Amino acid sequence: MSLGRPTTVRLQRIARAYRESGALLAAVELDLFSKINQGANTEEKLSAALGISSLNAERITVACLGLGLIIRDEDKLKNAIDVERFLTKEKSTYAGDWMFFTQPDWEKWGRLSDFLKNNEPAKLDNETVKGITIDEARRYHRATFSIGRGAGRLFVRSVDLSFHHRMLDIGGGSGAYCIEACNANPHLKATVLDLPEVTLVAQEFIAENNLSDRIITHDADFNKDPFPKDADIAIMASNLPMYGRQAIQAVIQKVYDALLPNGEFHLIGEALNEDRSGPTDPAIWGLAQTLHNSTGMAHSITECTDYIKNAGFQSIDINEFVPGVLTRISGVKSSN
């Protein structure tokens, strides 16, 4: 950061960032990026392809150019490379659904200070998932599956699963990690543990991927119910900020107690750095829990390492997973 006289530029950008979110979400909702890919590569063609006025086509195009989502190549519009890969529907890597994951909270963010002033005791049951309808679970996990498949593939590339027999995925959601792990390791079996409304949805994804004979689901509230005891590797991904310190420690203790001797545990979480000063993404995931009065918060790498050590795991290893977003912290259970 410049050491010169401060300006309001950075503050203004943060204050109005919601408008940038709005522009991105509208473009995805209109499927603007796929249309560009299909040849609607001028404002005029976009106006026709999207069925919007030429004035509005010009406005959204200019905004997307300003945000670097699209670029002008001579007189033709082109998608930026990340947009091309993740936001055009033709690609198997399409993650448009994930862009809308947090949208149900959109209106509440405008009233965050009211939520911060709420002094009622925080609830262990997290209302974003506990007691949701099956349709809500479907929307939620269409989103997590669209991003979780890539994360699952990254996990498979990062961790040797060749000598493991059964993987237990705590809060496994759509089953994305188990699906990718089983696809890459034909001998592996897996269990997706999640709330009952979610396991029904997981079964749909598992069946679509022809893995119903190797991946089973297990209905459980991981804060309250016992875990199956036949896994030699367990993972827990992308639910760290949903619960407070005590709850996360208790879940990891249950994982330790349930794993077979020499079993491995991988916590893939939105963890803050050691001094809790960032990155932004885990910090904001933690803040988001204010809107739901849950016990959730941002946990640091140091805290996560302590939870894993306190549970009894050894050989703790910390690895960056998705830079600035997710850290993978692992430990191994003793042999007896």
Ligand X SMILES: C[S@@+](CC[C@H](N)C(=O)[O-])C[C@H]1O[C@@H](n2cnc3c(N)ncnc32)[C@H](O)[C@@H]1O
Which residues of the chain form contacts with ligand X (CB under 6 A)? Answer: 126, 129, 144, 148, 171-174, 176, 194-195, 198, 221-223, 237-239, 242
Name the minimum Å distance from CB 66 to ligand X. 31
Name the minimum Å distance from CB 74 to ligand X. 41
Name the minimum Å distance from CB 182 to ligand X. 15
Residue nearest to ligand X (CB): 173
Neighbour count for residue 2 (Cβ, 10 Å)? 6
Letter string b/e over residues 120-136, b meaning 16 or more CB atoms within 10 A of that residue's CB: eebebebebbeebeeeb
Task: Closer to ligand X by CB, 32 or 308: give it.
Answer: 308
Contact 141, 201 (CB under 8 A): yes
Task: Closer to ligand X by CB, 133 or 277: give it.
Answer: 133
Closest among 285, 248, 265, 254 to 328, alpha carbons compared:
265
Give how far the C-alpha of residue 199 lies from the chain's centroid of Cα atoms, to the nearest Å: 17
Measured between alpha carbons, how far is 290 from 6 in angstroms, rounded to an integer? Answer: 31
Could you tell me the two tokens for 239? 């639910």
Task: Closer to ligand X by CB, 195 or 272: give it.
Answer: 195
- Tell me the DSSP string of 136-173: HHHHHHHHHHHHHHHHHHHHHHHS--TT--EEEEET-T
Name the minimum Å distance from CB 198 to ligand X. 4
Pairing between strand 189-194 and 215-219? parallel
Task: Closer to ligand X by CB, 144 or 249: give it.
Answer: 144
Task: Closer to ligand X by CB, 71 or 122: give it.
Answer: 122
Task: Closer to ligand X by CB, 129 or 258: give it.
Answer: 129
Name the minimum Å distance from CB 321 to ligand X. 11
Name the minimum Å distance from CB 272 to ligand X. 17
